[in-house]
Amino acid sequence: MYRTSFSVKALNTAILFIAFVTIGIVACQGQGFIVPPDDIGDLEIVEVKQLPVVDQSCGPRFGIVIANKSNRCVKDFHVTAIGSLGQSLPHSPRTTVVAGQIPANGALQVEVSLPIETLAMGNRGGLIIGLQHLTVIIDSWDEFFECNEFNNRKCFSMDSLPIETVEAVTVETVTEVAPAASSQQTTVQPNTAPPANIAPQTSGINQPAPAAVAVSPQDPLRSAIEQITPNGNNPSQ
């Protein structure tokens, strides 16, 4: 009886100990690890469109717009695009890229290029056909806890995807040519030969001009007498 009562007490003590430990663990988890509803974010595929092909050696390009519906920024998650004729299979060509940072309540466009083999995935009556369906998976490695995991995977028909066109911008360059300055006329004087009838230059000494002989006016009476007497001017006669 003694041994039996001791074993029963020990068993009861062990059961109570385990119960208290379990209650404590549950209480701690309930208070410290509960995520507030506002902090549970969600990543959502907003839009998928075809982008112009830049490199002919690569396959088709797609732009995937992802919205971050949370109060925290999200970055470095994986985005996978799968090309297929119908349902995507494990061997279907695919590409996985790492998305950049998306701010809280913001959006980001992620560009994905599929392998070139997606352009020739089947044969229809001798005509080579490419992919017919595109499957997009965001957070493909399941790295984030979200409130809605069902909007992380979508399948699109290639006919339903819009094609983004790049509008060619024509820039007209107007070159202004300055008009020729017609008002500025340059007058060029021709070199004329010196005249032949140039008087020789004299030496530095200028010869004085001969003095004019002053002619005194004759007396009218005397001139009359000289005309009457021709020999009147000769005093010796």
Query: What is the residue extent of each domain of the chain?
Result: 38-160
Looking at every residue in the chain, the average pLDDT score rounds to 76
- Candidates 103, 121, 101, 99; CA nearest to 111 is 99
Q: Does domain 38-160 bear CATH number 3.40.50.300?
A: no
- Candidates 114, 112, 144, 116; CA nearest to 128 is 116
Distances (CA, A) of 194 to 52, 163, 187: 82, 87, 21
Q: Is the pLDDT of residue 30 over 70?
A: no
Average pLDDT score over residue span 82-97? 92
Scanning the structure block, which residue is given the tokens 């074993």? 7
Query: Could you tell me which residues are beta bridge partners of residue 124?
Result: 127
Q: Is the pLDDT of residue 232 over 70?
A: no
- Candidates 100, 101, 131, 129; CA nearest to 113 is 131
Scanning the structure block, which residue is given the tokens 């913001």? 106
- The pLDDT, as a whole number, for residue 227 is 72
- The pLDDT, as a whole number, for residue 66 is 95
Q: Is the pLDDT of residue 193 over 60?
A: no
Bigger pLDDT: 58 vs 109 = 109
> Which positions ≥6 away from 108 have C-beta within 8 Å?
65, 66, 68, 99, 100, 101, 102
